[in-house]
Amino acid sequence: CGVAGVFNSPYAAEYALLMIYSLQHRGQESVGISSSDEKEIYTVKKPGRVLEAIKKEDLEKLKGSIAIAHVRYSTAGNAGGFNAQPLVRETPLGKVAVVHNGNLVNFLTLRKELEDKGIKFNYNSDSELFLALLEEGRTYIPEGVTLHPEDKDFLPYIFYALSRVKGAYSLIYLFRDKLVVARDPYGFRPLALGRKKNTILVASESCAFDILEAEFWREVKPGEVLVIDKKGKRSYRIFSSPRKAMCIFEFVYFSRPDSYIFGDWVYNVRKEMGRQLAREDNIEADVVIPVPDSGVVPALGYAEEKGLPFEYGLIRNHYVGRSFIEPTPELRNLRVLMKLSPNRAVLQGKRVIVIDDSLVRGTTSKRIVSMLRRAGAKEIHMRIASPPVVGPCYYGIDTPTKEELIANKMPIEDIAKFIGVDSLKYLSLEGLRKCVDKPEDFCDACFSLNYPVEVEDNVPSKIR
Ligand code: 5GP
Ligand code: SF4
Ligand code: MG
């Protein structure tokens, strides 16, 4: 998912809309915006993509100078119900809205505990815990934390909520008169602050500031809580964690290449993944082609490192929206052809290295390879700029269940046969770790099975 927040702008809703539009790659299932004019909190939530979903009338409804927004990930096995965010609730602290990116690993346990106390849940989403826990009316002030006088009356309730949840969260609370921003102590998901004149901005990725010609200010730190109101910004560090666990898959695939997250440019890290893949590889070929768009940046790195030409061997149709075509097995094939077509000028008679960022189920790759063969490629060598995905994600990325991951079903030689390539090679785990500054500060559990936070619910992100 993607989140955005705006404090102190006459265009709060419009800014929130533009920011969340630039985060559309983080979720296409639904979009929502809440705003406050200090008297009331207004909310609009719709299924679908930002620009198609949010209409002029919606923006007119979203009054006030404070706003938050969310785009939701399309989750295949959704447990049902309309779980678009912001989630809104009357609490002992007044009406509150919240947007959340990440996934909690003790949702089911905590929900049961709260339901036993008579607290009702209105949605089917782990994010509701951030509101439901406020209803308990319990407070928590971590040792060594001194509260500013302005925050004494409400912040301990939020600290309590945050002390109970486990897992990944980058979130923004909207109160009638303020924003409260928080990032879990492991720092799984990115979250950054920006500003434009007197307006303060919050967003999952820095690309959301560029769309407003705003300034990137800094990242929210793992374990940091920030209050933003008329009196200014007040920062608290309330948790220390045994380690950090920033999601390395944000660099591999999820974040936009022009964003700055986790102390690095996504573009540079992703390109380095391609370079490292080339260093680990001794295949001879004529040309390097990416699977667009996700393979483009690593393919540039790979080609540069090898001194081979980089060409567009696959052309992407950018106008693919949601299709009415039913996903039967035969038609699913044609859906891939709707999105990508082979460029014979580049492919005919050539030994081709095809670069993609990741291989998850193998089904897309199989169709791409047969497309390249039909277009006359002489040899096809598939290279993946990340290691085999062997475990599901419990912290907010929509990886399939363990059983659906092709790397769990068969050895690499068999995957090569299944997708129909002459050879297949992945970036090594050590190689991936070399591409980031401090690998010990990253989660790479879907590649290594080294899960940094114990999973109490045992429900992968995707199921929610
Ligand atoms: P596969 O061959 O495993 O079916 O598909 C691999 C492709 O899926 C890659 O091009 C990769 O960019 C893309 N991919 C990886 N992770 C995700 C994800 O979480 N969501 C979506 N929609 N695509 C993904
Ligand atoms: Fe990211 Fe993978 Fe860790 Fe999930 S398991 S947080 S996708 S690195
Ligand atoms: Mg892709």
Q: Name all residues whose Cβ lies below 6 A of ligand 2.
A: 188, 247-249, 393, 395, 397, 443-446
Mean predicted lDDT score pLDDT of the chain: 94
Supply the pTM of this predicted model. Answer: 0.96
**pLDDT digit string, tens, across residues 335-391:** 777 889 999 999 999 999 999 999 999 989 999 999 999 999 999 999 999 999 999
Q: Which ligand is nearest to the CA of 432?
A: 2
**pLDDT digit string, tens, across residues 162-211:** 999 999 999 999 999 999 999 999 999 999 999 999 999 999 999 999 99
Atom of ligand 2 nearest to the CA of 396: 4
Among 1, 266, 291, 294, the mutation site with the greatest number of ligand 1 atoms within 8 A of its Cβ is 294
CB 109 within 8 A of CB 457: yes
Residues 88-100 as b or e (16 or more Cβ within 10 Å = b): bbebebebbbbbb
| pLDDT at residue 79 in the model | 44
User: Does residue 323 surpass a pLDDT of 60?
Assistant: no
| pLDDT at residue 176 in the model | 98
| pLDDT at residue 459 in the model | 76
Mean pLDDT score, 241-265: 96
CB-count burial class (<10 Å; 0-12, 13-18, 19+) for 4: buried
Q: Using alpha carbons, list the distances in angstroms from residue 287 to 25, 162, 255.
A: 29, 51, 27
Distance from the CA of 362 to the center of ligand 1, in angstroms?
A: 9
Atom of ligand 1 nearest to the CA of 368: 2
Beta strands at 170-174 and 94-101: parallel, antiparallel or unpaired:
antiparallel
Give yes or no for residue 359 CB within 6 A of ligand 1.
Answer: yes
| pLDDT at residue 77 in the model | 41
Atom of ligand 1 nearest to the CA of 365: 2
- List where CATH 3.40.50.2020 sits in the chain: 268-436
Cis amide bond preceding 293, omega within 30: yes
| pLDDT at residue 324 in the model | 62
- List where CATH 3.60.20.10 sits in the chain: 2-242
Atom of ligand 2 nearest to the CA of 188: 6
CB 116 within 8 A of CB 192: no
Give yes or no for residue 291 CB within 6 A of ligand 1.
Answer: yes
| pLDDT at residue 318 in the model | 84
Q: Which CATH class is domain 2-242?
A: alpha beta
**pLDDT digit string, tens, across residues 113-161:** 999 999 999 998 999 999 999 999 999 999 999 999 999 999 999 999 9
| pLDDT at residue 462 in the model | 64
Mean pLDDT score, 410-419: 97
| pLDDT at residue 240 in the model | 82
Q: And the tokens for 88?
A: 């809104």
Q: Which residue numbers belong to the known binding site for Mg(2+)?
A: 294, 356-357
Give yes or no for residue 332 CB within 6 A of ligand 1.
Answer: no
268-436, what's its fold? Rossmann fold (3.40.50)
Give yes or no for residue 163 CB within 6 A of ligand 1.
Answer: no
Q: Which ligand is nearest to the CA of 170?
A: 2
Q: How confident is the model at residue 448 (pLDDT cuts 50, 70, 90)?
A: very high
Give yes or no for residue 294 CB within 6 A of ligand 1.
Answer: yes
| pLDDT at residue 239 in the model | 87
Q: How far apart are CA 406 and CA 363, in angstroms?
A: 9
SS (H, E, C) the chain: CEEEEEECCCCHHHHHHHHHHHCHHHCCCEEEEEEECCCCEEEEEEECCHHHHCCHHHHHHCCCCEEEEEEECCCCCCCCCCCCCCEEEEECCEEEEEEEECCECCHHHHHHHHHHCCCCCCCCCHHHHHHHHHHCCCCCCCCCCCCCHHHCCCHHHHHHHHHHCCECCEEEEECCCCEEEEECCCCCCCCEEEEECCEEEEECCCHHHHCCCCEEEEECCCCEEEEEECCEEEEEECCCCCCCCEEHHHHHHHCCCCCEECCEEHHHHHHHHHHHHHHCCCCCCCEEEECCCCCHHHHHHHHHHHCCCECCCEEECCCCCCCCCCCCHHHHHHHHHHHEEECHHHHCCCEEEEEECCCCCCHHHHHHHHHHHHCCCCEEEEEECCCCCCCCCCCCCCCCCHHHCHHHHCCHHHHHHHHCCCEEEECCHHHHHHCCCCHHHEECHHHHCCCCCCCCCCCCHHHC
Q: And the tokens for 224?
A: 């940091």
